[in-house]
Amino acid sequence: EAQVTQNPRYLITVTGKKLTVTCSQNMNHEYMSWYRQDPGLGLRQIYYSMNVEVTDKGDVPEGYKVSRKEKRNFPLILESPSPNQISLYFCASSTYSDRGLDGYTFGSGTRLTVV
Amino acid sequence: GENVEQHPSTLSVQEGDSAVIKCTYSDSASNYFPWYKQELGKRPQLIIDIRSNVGEKKDQRIAVTLNKTAKHFSLHITETQPEDSAVYFCAALGPSLKLSFGAGTTVTVRA
């Protein structure tokens, strides 16, 4: 089944303790992206990647890191989580061309709590 | 960068009536405009999209219109049903392939 898999679904951590949220897709998509969703703010892009070893900042990259060493994986790293990073996080992937994105698929989400 | 504004933030309609959600964007180079539906506790799912070389696209009860000159696009849902109740997001893809979303519209269909 074609899908984007995020883990974990729920994550509770303490301020300052490094964590990684994993994202993997099995559709051979070039384009992958991370978003955070907060009430009243919609989905804001954190980072995106157009291919292996190519990553770019989205609208809210501060406090986050990503890597794209393999085509299928795009982990999101929080080096020092803080309470303002409490949110619902989504990973997404897609093919792309000069016509735009095609087959944009979201993962099931990761709800992060920082205490 | 691209700025997408979406209105209204909430919309309540009687079952069977139409619902219209409007979005504006700032980057005239944006060329792809998808719409997503997110049900409570679930992931956003693509319901329809339109590319810059087309002015209108329809899929059963859902249609999207695009006015590139005015930089706005709209989602139209006809003959609304209770299962149309959800949060709807518009988005615009800029030339750098950054996809920017509107803040969302919560649609409630009253039986």
Nearest-CB residue to A106 (from B44, B98, B104): B44
Mutation site, A3, A6, A41, A43, interface B, largest B CB count within 10 A: A43
The pLDDT value given to residue B47? 95
> Using 50, 70 and 90 to split pLDDT, how confident is the model at A88?
very high
* Distance, CA of A49 to CA of A31 (rounded, Å): 6
Interstrand relation of A110-114 and A10-13 (parallel, antiparallel or unpaired): parallel
Q: What pLDDT, on the 0 to 100 scale, is given for residue A6? A: 96
DSSP state at residue B66: E
pLDDT for the residue numbered A100: 76
What pLDDT does residue B14 have? 98
Is any Cβ of chain B less than 8 angstroms from the Cβ of A107?
yes
Q: Which pLDDT belongs to residue A35?
A: 96
pLDDT in tens, B6-23: 999 999 999 999 999 999
Strand partners, B49: B34
Neighbours of B37 (CB within 10 A): 20
- Is B94 at the interface with chain A, CB within 8 A? no
Q: What is the mean pLDDT of chain B?
A: 94
Partner residue facing B43 (CB), from A48, A100, A106:
A106
CA B25 to chain centre: 12
Nearest CA in chain A to B53: A99
Q: How far apart are CA B20 and CA B37, in angstroms?
A: 14
Secondary structure (3-state) at B82:
helix
A107 with B98: Cβ contact below 8 A:
no
Whether the upstream peptide bond of residue A61 has omega within 30° of 0, thus cis, is no
Interface contacts A/B by beta carbons within 8 Å: 57
What pLDDT is stored for residue A70 in this prediction?
Answer: 97
What is the C-alpha separation between B58 and B64, in angstroms, rounded? 6
Given this model, what pLDDT does residue A2 score? 77
Contacts with A111 from chain B: Cβ below 8 Å:
none
**What is the residue type of B67?**
N
